[in-house]
Amino acid sequence: MQQKMSENGAIPRQGKVLTVDTMNANVKKVDYAVRGPIVQRAVQIEKELKEGVKKPFDEVIKANIGDAHAMGQRPITFFRQVMALCTYPQLLDDNKFPEDAKNRARRILQSCGGNSIGAYTTSQGIDCVRQDVAKYIERRDGGIPSDPDNIYLTTGASDGIVTILKLLTAGEGLTRTGVMISIPQYPLYSASIAELGAVQINYYLNEEKCWSLDISELQRSLQAARKHCNPRVLCIINPGNPTGQVQSRQCIEDVIQFAAKENLFLMADEVYQDNVYAKGCEFHSFKKVLFEMGPEYSKKVELASFHSTSKCYMGECGFRGGYMEVINMDADVKAQLTKLVSVRLCPPAPGQALMDLVVNPPQPGEPSHQTFMQERTAVLSALAEKAKLTEQILNTVPGISCNPVQGAMYSFPRITLPERAISEAKAKGQAPDMFYCMKLLEETGICLVPGSGFGQREGTYHFRMTILPPTDKLKLMLNKLKDFHQRFTQQYS
Amino acid sequence: MQQKMSENGAIPRQGKVLTVDTMNANVKKVDYAVRGPIVQRAVQIEKELKEGVKKPFDEVIKANIGDAHAMGQRPITFFRQVMALCTYPQLLDDNKFPEDAKNRARRILQSCGGNSIGAYTTSQGIDCVRQDVAKYIERRDGGIPSDPDNIYLTTGASDGIVTILKLLTAGEGLTRTGVMISIPQYPLYSASIAELGAVQINYYLNEEKCWSLDISELQRSLQAARKHCNPRVLCIINPGNPTGQVQSRQCIEDVIQFAAKENLFLMADEVYQDNVYAKGCEFHSFKKVLFEMGPEYSKKVELASFHSTSKCYMGECGFRGGYMEVINMDADVKAQLTKLVSVRLCPPAPGQALMDLVVNPPQPGEPSHQTFMQERTAVLSALAEKAKLTEQILNTVPGISCNPVQGAMYSFPRITLPERAISEAKAKGQAPDMFYCMKLLEETGICLVPGSGFGQREGTYHFRMTILPPTDKLKLMLNKLKDFHQRFTQQYS
């Protein structure tokens, strides 16, 4: 029942002021697969199950999103104790809470206006939290200095990423800012680029080499893009989402060299920095490698790196905590950034407090240290086990081929689809892997995201699956998936 | 040390990728006075005081921002109890917490993935919270139905306002979306309009009639704007920020009629809905008046209204909780809105939980009801007293004239500045009221925001002052302000 009206936003005399024809055209181009049609259908099916509709399964297993607590992971006790103390300071008199938790809470509250996390914080984030973040980065990076003035607390990492992209978006037509993103990518990037009206530049990860990044591919992609836009930004996700690879130190050095040579602003999405499982793999921050390359690089290359409370061993997505560190940002631009973030007043104070605990966890000798380490290790070793398990089981299925899940929380296996399935999907106007995932959901209750939501090489098909379900459920799910894939292949062969 | 380079975003061969010359031009136009240079200087002065620098005062009094807890207001006990229970559910076994608080916490947690507020929520917001918001609106508006599907939880009201403005921004040049805002305005509006590259359309409130809104002024402003843009949105803040007026029911009806006739999308910023102090004044929601005007209006006029956890009697700014209700929004646009908010995954879960408590507070008969009512009433009556006090004291000062603070948390008095002060300010390149406020800060430690940050009629000068300091401190501040104004007037006469 849409009315026809001009694309240029002219007001109709009658009818709605705001229609899809007269709304922001960039917003229309936004796509966000992780919460797209598959997930909407999954929510519907859950409702149907509740209402007693008969299905060939009892529950929907949501392996579509990196949402650890929703998959049964328990919060870290110490974090929640401190957060409860910050929220309801009367508990500071309660001897059920350990002293180190109370000390952390007191310190955070002292930095808050009126000693309340209900006060606005400074727009850049609570001073003591930014100091703790800087100290954490210094420890992590073997002593390379970090300046609290370069730290901005954010509403999850997404907020920081969008903010930096926003600063960088300028020009028109051939001079419009181009943003290089990996394919497959995390769709926050394509969505934000669309919303800002920047130009998306794809560079493909090498699936044959465990989703590694080839500089020659960066070069190809950049050269092609220079013909139609102004490439200014190179985005990297390490460890990789949705692809689960961990970049080698050498590769990071090569990327930095490339960015320096080609005058690109580097954005390093490092929210999975604690999620490294594979033997021989290690997390290297872009900041650290940049500084180890010497002043020629460390004083020149502009870098923003992002972290969050949502992933790693804590999985506290709901709090929307995060930070970014900006390196070599022009001082006047930094003043603009500070002004820009002030318009939203401040990131949520509870998320800031939680970020503080992540960067300043219990230390040896403190009463909560042992429990904290046990809980942390338990989560990370379970994830390592599940990463292995996922790769192993998927690789037993003819027609599915899965790279090792070296890090992060996802596998992104390639699936071979029969020609008949592909043409049936196309006849329906669906991406073939969307068709596959939708059928999987309807028949088994397993909710995955089709590879087309992340981007993939033409003619290849994938899905993204989180490794977050509890081990037993994950095994069950992988076996159901195996059966489904065989059934599907037979049906369409 | 900026380098010169082209405005169109071309990359310099050497130097920074991102400079003020090559950054997003819209971001540069953004201005946000509430956290502008005065506040930055205030923070600096606080540091100097700490370091022992001698000043003619002992502390900075920040009356620049509606930050109740920072001004010493205590959180509502029940709210913080439930939040602590949600954060650390082990406390559900603790008999120090009342049963009604535990029930609320259990209900919220049951609606969270994995029963944890650390899980992502649905992007539109937790189901049960949206249901409670809808019920609250129905009660508030005398039974006019509210659909939870029309409720979107937000990261503070600011987030919702920016999101709706974003949807509405389209067109180019003469067809670019124009947004009508009151002058004086809350600078979130001008900042967001600048960032989105929409066109700001000013309509002036009538200072002589207690900052009321004249339809003839709306008409004048709209007609003038139609010559250079496409006016599509009318923003109203009621109760008013920074001006403290409360709109009459008749005026709201007139505004709705105007919006209907002129095909404007209405945005009603109603975050101060509990902050009404003056005799004879009452809060009427735009939604309620719209529906009382009959189907000709209630089925036609597009409206988004905004609320938040940050103001009223709770003042929980740090949690960044809020909601918006959209009325008569085109179904396809609503689908686009839902998609757009999904890119940021979800608003902070603690803010959502807190919003739930605001719309579903303790009921008569529940154990926490009495304390809750006492705390709520204490805050609101203190504010009413301070509103009166502010008006009275300011109006005793020759050269200051202050309208009644009927509602919200601010007074916006007009100040008469001597010609010599005006020319000295202009010589310095400063707005005269900025010059005044800066001097006030340096001499007395009082931090206000100059009227120029909110907009005012040419040749008039004002400042915005919150009424939030505790009564004693407020009196002291007002008397210091009085002395300063007299001194300043003498000095420059």
Convert the pLDDT of each residue in B226-280 to its tens digit: 999 999 999 999 999 999 999 999 999 999 999 999 999 999 999 999 999 999 9
Whether the CB of B208 is below 8 Å from some CB of chain A: the reply is: no
User: If DSSP codes are grouped into helix, strand and coil, which group holds residue A449?
Assistant: strand
pLDDT tens, A98-107?
Answer: 999 999 999 9
Nearest CB to B27; choose among A2, A10, A340: A340
pLDDT tens, A395-453?
Answer: 999 999 999 999 999 999 999 999 999 999 999 999 999 999 999 999 999 999 999 98
Place of tokens 């037509």: A173
CA distance A354 to chain B (A): 11
CA distance A59 to chain B (A): 14
Residue B287 pLDDT? 97
Q: Are strands B265-269 and A446-447 parallel, antiparallel or unpaired?
A: unpaired
Chain-centroid distance, C-alpha A467: 15
Residue of B nearest to A66 (CA): B120
Residue B15 pLDDT? 85
Residue A40 pLDDT? 86
pLDDT tens, B163-188?
Answer: 999 999 999 999 999 999 999 999 99
Q: Domain A120-359 class?
A: alpha beta
> At the topology level of CATH, where does B31-72+372-492 sit?
Aspartate Aminotransferase, domain 1 (3.90.1150)
Of residues B36 and A224, the one with the higher pLDDT is A224
Where does A175-239 have alpha helices with state H? 188-196, 215-226
Nearest CB to A10; choose among B28, B230, B328: B230
Mean of the per-residue pLDDT values for chain A? Answer: 93
- The neighbour count for residue B428, using CB atoms within 10 Å, is 12
CA distance B209 to chain A (A): 30
pLDDT tens, B108-143?
Answer: 999 999 999 999 999 999 999 999 999 999 999 999
ipTM at complex level: 0.92
Q: Break chain B into its structural domains and give their ranges.
A: 31-72+372-492, 120-359
CB B126 within 8 A of CB B349: yes
Of residues A10 and A73, the one with the higher pLDDT is A73
- Distance CA(A18)–CA(B456), nearest Å, equals 30
CB A417 within 8 A of CB A451: no
B contacts of A175 (beta carbons < 8 Å) = 8-10
Residue A409 pLDDT? 95
Would you call A87 and B87 a contact, using CB atoms and an 8 Å cutoff? yes
CA distance A209 to chain B (A): 30
Whether the CB of B470 is below 8 Å from some CB of chain A: the reply is: no
Would you call B343 and A19 a contact, using CB atoms and an 8 Å cutoff? no
pLDDT tens, B82-109?
Answer: 999 999 999 999 999 999 999 999 999 9
pLDDT tens, A139-161?
Answer: 999 999 999 999 999 999 999 99
CA distance A352 to chain B (A): 10
Of residues B33 and B455, the one with the higher pLDDT is B455
Q: Taking 50 as the threshold, does the pLDDT of residue A3 lie above it?
A: no
pLDDT tens, A231-275?
Answer: 999 999 999 999 999 999 999 999 999 999 999 999 999 999 999
Nearest CB to B318; choose among A17, A168, A348: A348
Q: Taking 70 as the threshold, does the pLDDT of residue A13 lie above it?
A: no
Mean pLDDT, range A369-395, rounded to an integer: 96
Residue B247: phi and psi, rounded to 5, are: -75, 140
Q: Residue B200: beta bridge partners?
A: B179
Selected for mutation to probe chain B from A241, A337, A343 (highest B CB count within 10 Å) is A343
Q: Residue A236: beta bridge partners?
A: A268
Mean pLDDT, range B18-26, rounded to an integer: 92
Q: Taking 60 as the threshold, does the pLDDT of residue A359 lie above it?
A: yes
Of residues B37 and B411, the one with the higher pLDDT is B411
Question: Of B356, B293, B345, which is closest to residue B151 (Cα–Cα)?
Answer: B356
Interface of A with B in 112-141 (CB under 8 A): 112-114, 116-123
Would you call A30 and B343 a contact, using CB atoms and an 8 Å cutoff? yes
Whether the CB of A375 is below 8 Å from some CB of chain B: the reply is: no
Residue of A nearest to B126 (CA): A318
- Distance CA(A316)–CA(A29), nearest Å, equals 30
Q: Taking 60 as the threshold, does the pLDDT of residue A10 lie above it?
A: no
Of residues A366 and A34, the one with the higher pLDDT is A366
Interface of B with A in 246-305 (CB under 8 A): 263-265, 302
Nearest CB to B88; choose among A84, A120, A351: A84
Query: How far separated are the first and last CA of chain B, in Å rounded?
Result: 41
CA distance B292 to chain A (A): 20
> At the topology level of CATH, where does A27-72+372-491 sit?
Aspartate Aminotransferase, domain 1 (3.90.1150)
Cis, peptide link before residue A242, omega less than 30° from 0: yes
CB B275 within 8 A of CB B38: no
Residue A225 pLDDT? 97
Interface of A with B in 37-96 (CB under 8 A): 43, 65, 67-73, 75, 80-81, 83-84, 87-88, 91, 94, 96
A contacts of B32 (beta carbons < 8 Å) = 339, 342-343
Would you call B319 and A350 a contact, using CB atoms and an 8 Å cutoff? yes
User: If DSSP codes are grouped into helix, strand and coil, which group holds residue A326?
Assistant: strand
CB A19 within 8 A of CB B332: yes
Classify residue A210 by its DSSP letter: T
- Distance CA(B11)–CA(B22), nearest Å, equals 8
